[in-house]
């Protein structure tokens, strides 16, 4: 018996560990934050008897938001603006693209994303860790998935506006836009020049475009 037990322990030690990443499972049906008593990150749940149907309905994505100079409008929806999502391990976003508009390369470090084309025709894809591109044009009614942590992108290739609904398996997926990460932060200019073969002037131009604007 002891030999069998020792063999099992040895096999257990030799087996590679499996890592499962997701938001913690909730320990109650829901937790609508009580904003009156919430302090720092210690969120207290509202008394369930005071919770109503309105706490689980969000009406803020009926229309597009403001468009940027790249023809993109996004309305992220997370527990901060929709408390009904709190502890449920999910969030979503409405994105609208004008004809020719783009959602530049970016990634979400903490979530896989599925995108549903509500209307329009969108060139959509992602790049895997072997630098292989998986991309195609998807249209109304089609869904595409972007695996967690992989760079992905979209461009409206139709003649009319496109609307996309994105869903995440985390209430806080995070997002890093590649152009902003490279040229909108404090990465050393010389490093960027050597990495991209750009001149000092070109790096300066890129920085002016992507550096956060200072408030006067």
Find out whether 4 is annotated in a ligand binding site. Answer: no
The CATH number that applies at residue 63 is 2.60.120.10
- Number of structural domains (the chain) is 2
The DSSP output letter for 173 is -
Asked whether residue 138 is domain-assigned, the answer is yes
Query: Are 144 and 65 contained in the same domain?
Result: yes
Q: CB atoms < 10 A from the CB of 182, how many?
A: 16
Query: Are 186 and 116 contained in the same domain?
Result: no
pTM of the predicted model, to two decimals? 0.81
pLDDT of residue 64: 96
Query: Are 98 and 59 contained in the same domain?
Result: yes
Contact 71, 40 (CB under 8 A): no
pLDDT in tens, 166-216: 999 999 999 999 999 999 998 999 999 999 999 999 999 999 888 776 655
**Percent of the chain, pLDDT > 70?**
85
Contact 189, 200 (CB under 8 A): yes
Residue 152: give the domain boundaries: 48-174
Query: Are 114 and 52 contained in the same domain?
Result: yes
Query: Are 63 and 160 contained in the same domain?
Result: yes
Query: Are 162 and 187 contained in the same domain?
Result: no
pLDDT of residue 42: 60
User: If phi over 0 gives left and psi between -120 and 50 gives alpha, with beta otherwise, what is residue 131?
Assistant: left
Find out whether 152 is annotated in a ligand binding site. Answer: yes
Query: Are 91 and 185 contained in the same domain?
Result: no
**Secondary structure (3-state) at 129:** coil
Query: Are 111 and 134 contained in the same domain?
Result: yes
pLDDT in tens, 41-94: 567 889 999 999 999 999 999 999 999 999 999 999 999 999 999 999 999 999
Query: Are 141 and 76 contained in the same domain?
Result: yes
Query: Are 77 and 153 contained in the same domain?
Result: yes
Query: Are 145 and 194 contained in the same domain?
Result: no
Query: Are 159 and 78 contained in the same domain?
Result: yes
């Amino acid at each position: 018996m002891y030999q069998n037990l020792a063999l099992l322990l040895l096999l257990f030690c030799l087996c590679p560990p499996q890592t499962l990443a997701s938001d913690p499972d909730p320990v109650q049906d829901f937790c609508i934050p009580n904003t009156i008593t919430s302090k720092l990150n210690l969120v207290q749940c509202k008394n369930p008897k005071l919770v109503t149907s309105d706490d689980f309905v969000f009406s803020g994505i009926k229309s597009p938001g403001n468009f940027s100079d790249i023809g993109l409008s996004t309305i992220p929806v997370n527990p901060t603006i929709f408390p009904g999502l709190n502890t449920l391990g999910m969030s979503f976003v409405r994105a609208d693209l004008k004809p020719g508009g783009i959602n530049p390369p970016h990634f979400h470090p903490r979530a896989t994303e599925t995108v549903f084309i509500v209307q329009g025709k969108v060139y959509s894809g992602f790049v895997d860790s072997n630098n292989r591109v998986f991309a195609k044009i998807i249209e109304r009614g089609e869904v595409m998935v972007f695996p967690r942590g992989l760079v992905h992108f979209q461009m409206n290739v139709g003649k009319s506006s496109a609307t996309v609904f994105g869903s995440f398996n985390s209430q806080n997926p995070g997002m890093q836009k590649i152009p902003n990460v490279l040229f909108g932060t404090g990465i050393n200019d010389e490093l960027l020049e050597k990495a991209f073969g750009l001149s000092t002037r070109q790096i300066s131009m890129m920085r002016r475009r992507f550096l956060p604007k200072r408030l006067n």
